[in-house]
Amino acid sequence: MLDPNLLRQQPAEVAARLHATRGFALDADALASLEAERKMVQVRTQELQSQRNKLSGEIGKRKSKGEDVAELMAQVSASGDEQKRGEARLDEIKAEIEAVALAIPNLPHDSVPLGADEAGNVEQHRWGAPREFDFAVKDHVELGARHGWLDAETAAKLSGARFTVLRGGLARLHRALAQFMLDLHVEQHEYQETSVPLLVNADSMRGTGQLPKFEDDLFATVVGEGEAASKRYLIPTSEVPLTNVVRDEIVEDAALPLRMTAHSMCFRAEAGSAGRDTRGMIRQHQFEKVELVAISRPQESYAEHERMTRCAEVVLETLGLPYRRMLLCTGDMGFAAAKTYDLEVWLPSENRYREISSCSNCESFQARRMQARWRNPASGKPEPVHTLNGSGVAIGRAMIAVMENYQNADGSIAVPEALRRYMGGIEVLA
């Protein structure tokens, strides 16, 4: 959520920036009209309360003298009725303003390039040279099908499209990647390993920006019955529970930065991706990811952003996977992000780079939605923290990249050296 003071004081300027950078149409006039009405109603309700206080005092004085107070009592009653109507309208106006504010995306950082879509993204650097093969390259589906290790047909029977059953060596490779990433981030990158719920409430989804805008992309279930029933959402990423750890909290300065990592299942309905990446494991309803989340002092968040992105890069470099870093343009960034780097790994079967990690600085956008604050020692007052999140990295896509980049002519797959201790010393999946 954007700073409410910014929306109140500069609605036209904010609307112009959102249109120029995000292509988002904010009705500044309607917002200004709501804000003007809010001020008017709030002032009137305060006047009515003050008036009632005076009348109540006068009633007390007259009663002590034995005087008639019927007329004053009638005035208090009328004033009270008007005040109740004003307070009800004030609640309605605040709800309308909040609904508008919750739908507004974050403002991009000044360093983010302008662009309408991924064509406007800017490459920052590359690492590693794509391997040159002297045989026909197979994709991960062909490689995984040899021993029934990657089985989409059985998964479709069990659950439908966009699910996969893994067996044997691939199931073990998938597990090894998760363990490797967690150990790397905990032991070398100083993130605290955290195990989080896979089901969260609506407040948690609203806090990180998935609700209300992206409800169609979420899987949900209902807990309880009747009036006690409530929705719980399957997490699309462990960013949601990790970031919401500080919801409604005031974090002491000495505790910052908070760095957390979690390996979790992730669930996405992929409502807007019909027909895209239907082959194999590129785009699934259920997948696993090692997530990185940082809660930072505002003045340190961009240094933390660079650090987080570098931590994800080290995963790919340690695995020997060629990649490139992309700075996303304004039109390709996520709803809550102020600045995002994508890491794209080389996939030989597609002869191109594909996203495997996305690292974003959300500044105070999520913190304002969550009421997550830190106590600034300079002022002694609570202020919004900055929140950051990144994939460290997507496990399924890392497995695909290992399979394709480490494949041999006979269809076997060499195990990267960094993973062998997690694979019982196995050097080749054959």
Residues marked active site are found at: 268, 283, 355, 358, 397
Interacting residues of 366 by C-beta distance below 8 A, sequence separation 6+: 207, 208, 209, 243, 336, 372, 387
Q: How many Å apart are CA 199 and CA 241, to the nearest integer?
A: 9
DSSP state of 407: B
Q: In 3D, which of 290, 266, 256 has the Cα closest to residue 374?
A: 256
Q: Are 247 and 204 in contact (CB under 8 A)?
A: yes
Q: What's the Cα-to-Cα distance from 61 to each of 68, 69, 87, rounded to whole Å?
A: 11, 10, 28
Q: Check the annotation: does 413 bind a ligand.
A: no
Q: How many Å apart are CA 79 and CA 308, to the nearest integer?
A: 57
Half-sphere exposure of 177 (CA within 13 A, CB side): 27
Q: How many Å apart are CA 411 and CA 13, to the nearest integer?
A: 58
Q: Check the annotation: does 306 bind a ligand.
A: no
Q: Check the annotation: does 33 bind a ligand.
A: no
Q: Check the annotation: does 426 bind a ligand.
A: no
Q: Check the annotation: does 358 bind a ligand.
A: yes
Q: Check the annotation: does 111 bind a ligand.
A: no
Q: How many Å apart are CA 120 and CA 371, to the nearest integer?
A: 33
Q: Check the annotation: does 355 bind a ligand.
A: yes
Helices 70-102, 28-65: crossing angle, 10 deg rounding: 160
Q: Check the annotation: does 360 bind a ligand.
A: no
Q: Check the annotation: does 412 bind a ligand.
A: no
Instruction: Give Cα 417 to chain centroid, integer Å.
Output: 33
> What is the pairing mode between strands 230-234 and 413-414?
unpaired
Q: Check the annotation: does 291 bind a ligand.
A: yes
Instruction: Give Cα 270 to chain centroid, integer Å.
Output: 15
Q: What is the dihedral of CA 257, 258, 263, 266, to 10 degrees?
A: -90
Q: How many Å apart are CA 371 and CA 383, to the nearest integer?
A: 9
Q: How many Å apart are CA 330 and CA 341, to the nearest integer?
A: 12
Q: Please name the residue ranges forming H helices in 103-238.
A: 140-145, 152-158, 168-187, 202-208
Interacting residues of 173 by C-beta distance below 8 A, sequence separation 6+: 399, 402, 403, 413, 415, 419, 423, 429
**What does the block give as tokens for 153?**
């047909």
Q: Check the annotation: does 237 bind a ligand.
A: yes
Q: Check the annotation: does 32 bind a ligand.
A: no
Q: Check the annotation: does 159 bind a ligand.
A: no
Half-sphere exposure of 20 (CA within 13 A, CB side): 11
Which residues participate in the annotated binding site for L-serine? 237-239, 268, 291, 389, 391
Which residues participate in the annotated binding site for ATP? 268-270, 355-358
Which residues participate in the annotated binding site? 237-239, 268-270, 291, 355-358, 389, 391
